[in-house]
Homo-oligomer: A and B are copies of this chain.
Amino acid sequence: MSKPFPIITEVRLTPILIADPPLLNRSGVHQPYTPRLIVEVETETGVLGLGETYGDTTYLERAQELSRALIGMPISAVNAIGRLGRGASTLLDAEPAASGLRGALTTDKVRLSVLSAFEVAVFDALGRHLGVPVHALLGGKVRDAVDYAGYLFYKWAGHPVTESETDEWGAALDPDGVVEQARKFVAHGGFRSLKLKGGVMPPPEECAAIEALAAEFPGIPLRLDPNGGWSLETSLQVAERLHGLVEYLEDPTATVDDMAEVHRRTGIPLATNMIVTSLDEVRPAFDRDAVQIVLSDHHFWGGLLATRDLAAVCRAYGRGLSMHSNTHLGISLAAMTQVAATVDDLRYACDTHYPWQQEDVIAERLAFTAGAVEVSDTPGLGVELDRDALARLHERWKAMPHHRIRDDVAALRRAGPDRAIMPE
């Protein structure tokens, strides 16, 4: 018999608020502070594992409820985590996400988003216990570095409220501003793919920004993502204009039918993190050929094993795989990198918001070299918790109850009528 695996004896949930620049999207603007939830799993032998997920109240409440079931489980029981709370009727009904940028929010998606942080923390603990990197627990890395895309945003120079941090990125509200922002990404991180979050300016202006990027960075793969904000007609116009210029168009429009129509009529490759966000959404979208590239996300698909599962489904159906990101810190970037390193056919640069975050809860922030993050071979995820930083960001969460639910729509409304954005 093998030596038994250590048992989980404690799960610490720490909600935090992290500073976020005034990045614009179809729904509105990022709040000055965004909630995240930091998960620490501790075992009887003192091994620690770290996880991170959405921190909105809806998630925090479910995490509190679900974490009780982790106590007493061995850290080898990763598959069993995905079953926690399944079919439980005692969970609160999920409220619709404020921003709605990743499709309709269901009870099961919230459950999986919470469990993903538990799963990552348990993988981290298991890796540390065995002295192996997490990727070795997923069949081993097939690459030594994972490519990320420079994630460009329309952006104000500063938040329109006094209670906020400042940033040095400046404004980006036209093609020149977008190109300038891209130059910083390329200069500092060496990014070799660029993605522009669209759905903010009139579509012709966003097309012009992509064209300006193509002129400035010839040969660099480009993407545009209006988060489903365009009508079918607008999507068709943009697809015609940008076909050949972008490697894919991401969620131009919001429904399976319209996405299918855009692809059928223009042939442009379409990616999504909105119409395929859970296993039950795969078939309707694939059957209609509404999606050519699926954006995985270990947070809302339920973890690292679920990400590998999604990759298998895409493989069987001849779909590409890329990776979505929402505002996140270093624990999640480490997890994204570990799993991405093991998926052979993840051939697109992954999305990440990470360069936009100046704060973190890990001791040494991860770095981008030539647009890539090196795959750590250190036991577990390869990151260490900065307890002072965690405590400081948790204090902020306690002090700012009005930021505990991220709501880009409300943040835009607070900015006043003159700061409105124009999705169409």
Contact = CB atoms under 8 A, between A and B. Distances in A.
A106 interface: no
A264 interface: no
Contacts of A208: none
A377 B1 contact: yes
A14 to B, nearest CB: 26
Nearest to A137: B137
A279 interface: yes
A377 B315 contact: no
A140 B73 CA distance: 11
A50 to B, nearest CB: 17
A282 interface: yes
Interface in A24-50: none
A283 B79 CA distance: 26
Interface string A356-387: 00000000000000000000011100000000
Contacts of A79: 138-142, 342, 344
A90 interface: no
A312 interface: yes
Interface string A314-354: 01111000000000000000000000001010000000000
Interface stretch (A127-135, A156-164, A191-199, A390-398): A127-135
A305 interface: yes
Contacts of A140: 74, 76-80
A142 to B, nearest CB: 5
A122 to B, nearest CB: 9
Q: Please tell me how many copies of the chain the complex holds.
A: 2
Given A80-B140, A140-B78, A131 B316 contact: no
B139 A305 contact: yes
A370 B381 CA distance: 41
Nearest to A74: B140
A91 interface: no
Given A2-B379, A378-B2, A344 B82 contact: yes
A312 B305 CA distance: 10
A308 B82 CA distance: 15
A313 interface: yes
A185 to B, nearest CB: 29
B315 A309 contact: yes
A297 to B, nearest CB: 16
A265 interface: no
A26 B1 CA distance: 42
Given A5-B132, A130-B132, A282-B317, 9 more contacts: A78-B139, A79-B142, A82-B344, A83-B344, A130-B130, A137-B137, A283-B316, A283-B317, A309-B312
16 contacts: A1-B378, A2-B377, A3-B131, A76-B140, A79-B138, A79-B140, A79-B142, A79-B344, A80-B140, A83-B142, A282-B317, A283-B317, A309-B312, A309-B315, A309-B316, A313-B316
Q: Which 7 A-B pairs have the closest CB atoms?
A: A309-B312, A79-B139, A78-B139, A76-B140, A76-B136, A312-B312, A282-B316
